[in-house]
Chain A
Amino acid sequence: MKNRKSQVALITVMILATILTLVLSASFRTIVDTQTSKLEEENQKALAAAEAAVEASIKENGTTTVGQGSLENISGISGGATVTSLADHTFTSNRVEKNNQYTFYLANYNPDTKTLGTSSLAQTVTICFQSATTNPALEITLLKVASIKRYVVDPSARITNAALPSSICPDSTYAYSYDIPSADISTDSQLIIVKAVFNGTKLYFSRSSNFELQGKAATGEVTSDAGVSKKVYLFQSYPQIPSDFFDTSF
Chain B
Amino acid sequence: MTEEGGFVSLYLRMYRNKILTGLILFLICLTLFPLLNTAFSQYVCNQNCAPNIYGCNAPLTCYNTGTTQVCRNPNCLTDVDCVCPTPTNTPTPTPTPIPKWSKLKDASFSSINSLSNPMPAVVVAYDGDDNTNRTFIITAASNVPGSVDAQSIDLNGASKSSKDWYTTAAQGFSKTTSMTPTDFLSYVKSRKDYSNITNLHDISTNGYNNKIVVTSGNLTVDDSSINTSSSNLNNKNLVIVVFGDLQMNTVSFAPTSANIAFLVTGKITFADTTTYGKGIFVAPTIDIGTSANQGLKIVGNLIAQTTLTNNRKWAVNSKPSLFILFDKSQYLSLLPYLSVSNYNWQQLK
Q: Which of B143, B165, B303, B345 has the most CB of A within 10 A?
A: B165
For B335, the chain A residues whose CB sits under 8 A away are 114, 116, 239, 241
Chain B 164-206 against A: per-residue CB contact (8 Å), 1 yes, 0 no? Answer: 1111000111011111100010000000000000000000000
A247 at the interface (CB under 8 A from B): yes
Q: Shortest CB–CB separation between residue B99 and chain A, in angstroms?
A: 14
The reply to whether A233 and B178 form a contact with Cβ atoms under 8 Å apart is: no
Q: Given A160-B164, A243-B110, A245-B282, answer yes or no on A234-B175 (Cβ-Cβ < 8 Å).
A: no
A206 at the interface (CB under 8 A from B): no
Distance of A45 Cα from B175 Cα, bound (Å): 42
Among listed A8-16, A33-41, A94-102, A164-172, interface-contacting one: A94-102
B342 nearest in chain A by CB position: A237
Is A190 an interface residue, CB under 8 A from the partner?
Answer: yes
Q: Are A94 and B147 in contact (CB under 8 A)?
A: no
B78-86, B222-230, B245-253, B324-332 - the one binding chain A? B324-332
Tell me if A239 and B336 are in contact (CB < 8 A). yes
A174 part of interface (Cβ distance < 8 Å): no
- Interchain CA distance A17-B110 in the complex, whole Å: 78
Contacts A100-B178, A161-B164 hold; do A197 and B145 have CB atoms under 8 A apart? no
Interface magnitude class on chain A: 35 or more
- Say yes or no: B171 contacts A159, CB within 8 Å: yes
Contact B108 A248, beta carbon cutoff 8 Å: yes
Across the interface, B345 reaches (CB within 8 A) one of A146, A159, A232, A250, namely A232
Q: Is B119 an interface residue (CB 8 A)?
A: no
* Assembled-state Cα–Cα distance A190/B329 (Å): 11
Query: B240 at interface (Cβ–Cβ under 8 A)?
Result: no
Among candidates A143, A221, A235, A248, residue contacting B303 with C-beta atoms closer than 8 Å: A248
Check A240 for interface membership: any CB of B closer than 8 A. yes
B344 is an interface residue with CB less than 8 A from chain A: yes
Tell me the dominant secondary structure on chain A's binding face. Answer: strand
Roughly how many angstroms separate A170 CA and B88 CA in the complex, as a whole number?
Answer: 74
Q: Which residue of A has the minimal Cβ distance to B309?
A: A250
Q: Which residue of B lies closest to A92 (CB)?
A: B344
Number of interface residues of B (CB under 8 A): 65
Bound-complex Cα distance A129 to B68 (A): 66
Q: Does A133 reach chain B (CB closer than 8 Å)?
A: no
Question: Known contacts A232-B346, A248-B104; is A148 also within 8 Å of B143 by CB?
Answer: yes
- Residues in chain A near residue B349, CB distance under 8 A: 221, 229-231
Q: Is the CB of A161 within 8 A of B144?
A: no
- How long is the Cα–Cα vector from A16 to B308 in the complex, in angstroms? 83
Choice from B172, B301, B342 contacting A248 with Cβ under 8 Å: B301
- A249 interface residue (CB < 8 Å to B): yes
Q: Complex: how many Å from CA A147 to CA B145?
A: 11
- What residue of chain B has the Cβ atom nearest to residue A148's Cβ? B143
Determine the distance from Cα of A244 to Cα of B164 in the docked complex, in whole angstroms. 22
CB within 8 Å of B: which residues of A? 47, 93-94, 97, 99-100, 102-103, 114, 116, 139, 141, 143, 146-152, 158-162, 190-191, 197-198, 215, 219, 221, 229-250
| Smallest CB-CB A-B distances: 3 pairs | A239-B339, A250-B308, A231-B349
Chain B residues with a Cβ under 8 A of chain A: 102, 104, 106-113, 140, 142-147, 149, 163-167, 171-173, 175-180, 184, 210, 261, 263, 280, 282, 286, 301-305, 307-308, 324, 326, 328, 331-332, 335-336, 338-349
Give 4 A-B pairs besides A148-B326, A236-B343 with Cβ atoms closer than 8 angstroms: A99-B175, A147-B142, A152-B147, A234-B346
